[in-house]
Structure 1
Amino acid sequence: MRSTFKVLFYLKRNAPKKSGLIPVMCRITVNGKIAQFSCKLDVEEKSWNVKSGRVSGRSIVAQEANRMLDKIRVGINRAYQQISDRDNYVTAEKVRNAYLGLGMNHETLLAVFRQHNEDYEKQVGKLKSLRSYWKYCVVYKHLAEFVEKRYKVSDIALKELTPAFITDFELFLKVEKSHCNNTVWSYMMPFRKIIYMAVNNGLLQRDPFFAYSITKEETKRGFLTKEEITLLINGTFKKKSYELIRDLFIFCSYTGLSWTDMANLTEANLQTSFDGHLW
């Protein structure tokens, strides 16, 4: 059975530019499922014909805009036909991705990030640390959630990344994930490295991090009193895992070991001292 297929151009009225122009969006519908993307075209709201999905008038600006929309429509129709001829089923997202070039290997953000993490994991314990690998995995997870919530797709083309994408992701971490500034800073740095890698490998022409800035805030660490340490030792917790964390913290407090040194302790570090006990 042939799929129902429709292409619609509309204005994103809730996101006007500072110039007063409104971005034009393209919506692809296949069997009731929708995928959309920005046409990279801004127009005056008063010149937009909602019924035809085009710019009204015979001005040079209107003609150029409509020529661009026609080109997009032709490209989408071609992508739809190619997928219909090749695959057993067609989806709006597949048509959108094919038109934007997302079908090409390693030209999408999450695909590049995923490949990086797989390569990084192979170096853990040799050239890379496990904690650094975990951080990259956490950032990947946040990015995947952000792309799904904001753009309603499973991945996004590298060429679609803009400075606004970077700042929106930062806002997502702060608002949706409730992370403090320094945590956001620690997550944006691995993301920035992935983008630099894409630029250096020729996968991305322009760096969306250009002119972006975030700085780590200096914090003053407090300390616990002897009474507070005692309360912590005698305290009870709802989760057993919290008790383990408490015990590890107390261990570091009394031994002076850093968290990293404590985490790397093994049985090989235990020695029998003069008193016959293990230390």
Structure 2
Amino acid sequence: MKTNFSLLFYLKKPKNYLKGAVPVYLRITVDGKPVEMSASRKCEPELWNTKAGHMIGTKEDAKTLNSYLDKMKAGVTAAHTALCVEDAEISAEGVKCKYLDKAEKAHTIMEAIKIHNKNMAALVEKEDYAEGTLRRFKVLEKHVKEYLLFKYQTGDLNVRNIDHEFIDGFDFYLHTSKDNDTNTASKHLKNLGKIVRICLRNKWIITDPFFGYKLKSKLVQREYLTAEELQNIAGKKYSTARLTQVRDFFLFSCYTGLSYADVQKLKQTDIRIGIDGEKWLFSYRKKTGTPLAVPLIPVAADILERYKDHPFCVNQNRALPISSNQKMNEYLVEIAALSGIVKTLGNRIAKRTFATTVTLLNGVPIESVSKMMGHTNIRTTQLYAKMLDERVSSDMAPLRQIFASI
């Protein structure tokens, strides 16, 4: 592999330097990436030729130093040549290690993933990351380990061996052996890309194997509830208190756009009077830390009022008594069946319903919807707008009337 390789001797003056000899250093640069090493010699700055990288003069001390530096330069150049002959990946650190007869530490992809997941687990405890995000990286760890055994018959691989061939093979493995669809496989590859970029920052690798690699995706038809379906759920009388309670939680998410984690941590003190003198919900998205400010429409405010004296809410300073996510989903299956809803109810469909049926279809500007949902990029909110055939129909209605009279 051809590389741009250069050497430069220079003087490294310490802080608060006044006078006297200073250390001589050698800078090794490979493809623009430098590393330095001490030459274990010193020289007076006024006797140093910066351009030549040598000591000025013909006296014995100058000849001795320059001879030593020439020998050192020849040794480092020989180390670089040896790496080229070995067809090894060449880096400035690798040349330095070769010259010093030290093996450059090889880092592996599984090592990188494990370190990342350990650090993320600590951040999950501090609520800087959601538990679900960590689970996705643990799944990635499992898939990569199994792929290495399947493809390379090994439990680990030097991270420098990650290239387009590895990425394509892993993508194919996810589609075939793991039966992942295109979007799921791309999410795993995106997470792997994050790991690789950390390796790049740590200088474990010198190039990004994902550079120029295009992740694939397919448009997914995301479901949301219509106004009629929302009314069916809201108007249904359930025989047990637990179903009524879960129904209320689900409706609250539909009318505020909050995720399960955000509703679960919502406190009674998060409900305050806003700029318009009405009740607002002030919080932050657990997933991103983005501030939330959502005006409460009457139906959402009524749900909160219904549970303000509930023992759990009073004792735990919570706005709603929330079951575990698993239990909630089990109960929502029953609620869907009893309400005549054929769609799978859950927090995702609740958030989509808020973005579409509750807000966008009622003329709320997309910028306001984006802010209320805590999106960091309005393009995320635009995904919901693309789903709205009803809005397109209403927007085109005046145009139909204009052209009908022509």
The TM-score normalised by the length of structure 2 is 0.35
Bigger radius of gyration among the two: 2
